[in-house]
């Protein structure tokens, strides 16, 4: 016969380990620009919250931390696109080229791999700008701005992902 207290401790520990692994997967996935790492991390905390609520362990502090994690996920997903777009818009790149780059990255990622999508986005921007401007050097400079925006976007999303993990860790600890 299994001791109910031991079973509860085991299942809660297992839930914590699984949630932490999902959070790490989302954090590592942030390296791939089209991978929704922050959303994956949020889904992990959502599942954790649902299970905790079902067993009656969600306190007002738990809900507050979940709301903060949710706000971080939403803000991080918005700021991601703003940072990239700002860098290329500073170079006067039109929205049409930016959209081509985003769409190429997403479509190639869906049909091939996310790594191929990482190559497709800047390549699509370069080709769109080269076609538009007929100047390879300017198209390359605009693509460099896209890549710089990607780098800053990753740094921002990674920092937000770390905060999400810290808030979840505080939630588990309390």
Per-residue pLDDT, 30: 87
In whole angstroms, how far apart are CA 86 and each of 26, 60, 146, 152?
25, 38, 9, 11
134 three-class SS: coil
Residue closest to 163 by CA, chosen among 43, 35, 38 = 38
Per-residue pLDDT, 13: 87
Q: Which of 1-10, 54-63, 149-158 shows the lowest mean pLDDT across its residues?
A: 1-10
**Total structural domains within the chain:** 1
Per-residue pLDDT, 46: 98
Res 1 pLDDT > 70 = no
H/E stretch holding 7 reads: helix 4-29
Residue range(s) defining the domain that contains residue 43: 4-173
Res 156 pLDDT > 70 = yes
pTM for the complete prediction?
0.82
C-alpha–C-alpha distance, residues 125 and 140, integer Å: 9
Q: How buried is residue 119: exposed, middle or buried, by Cβ count under 10 Å (0-12/13-18/19+)? A: middle
Q: Which residue has the higher pLDDT, 171 or 86?
A: 171
Res 162 pLDDT > 80 = yes
Residue closest to 90 by CA, chosen among 146, 155, 152 = 146
Per-residue pLDDT, 24: 96
Per-residue pLDDT, 22: 97
Dihedral of CA atoms 161, 163, 168, 170 in degrees, nearest 10, equals 160
Per-residue pLDDT, 36: 87
Q: Which of 69-73, 89-93, 124-128, 170-174 shows the lowest mean pLDDT across its residues?
A: 89-93
pLDDT in tens, 20-47: 999 999 999 888 766 789 999 999 999 9
């Amino acid at each position: 016969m299994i001791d109910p207290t031991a079973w509860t401790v085991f299942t809660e520990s297992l839930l914590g380990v699984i949630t932490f692994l999902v959070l790490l997967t989302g954090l590592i996935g942030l390296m791939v620009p089209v991978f929704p790492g922050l959303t994956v991390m949020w889904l992990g905390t959502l599942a954790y919250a649902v299970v905790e609520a079902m067993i009656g362990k969600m306190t007002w502090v738990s809900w507050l931390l979940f709301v903060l994690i949710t706000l971080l996920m939403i803000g991080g997903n918005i700021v991601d696109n703003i940072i990239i777009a700002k860098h290329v818009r500073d170079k006067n790149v039109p929205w049409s080229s930016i959209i081509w780059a985003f769409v190429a990255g997403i479509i190639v990622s869906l049909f091939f791999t996310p790594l191929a999508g990482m190559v497709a986005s800047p390549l699509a921007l370069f080709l769109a700008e080269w076609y538009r401007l007929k100047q390879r050097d300017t198209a390359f400079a605009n693509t460099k701005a896209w890549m710089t925006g990607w780098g800053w976007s990753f740094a921002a999303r990674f920092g937000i992902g770390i905060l999400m993990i810290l808030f979840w860790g505080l939630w588990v600890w309390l």
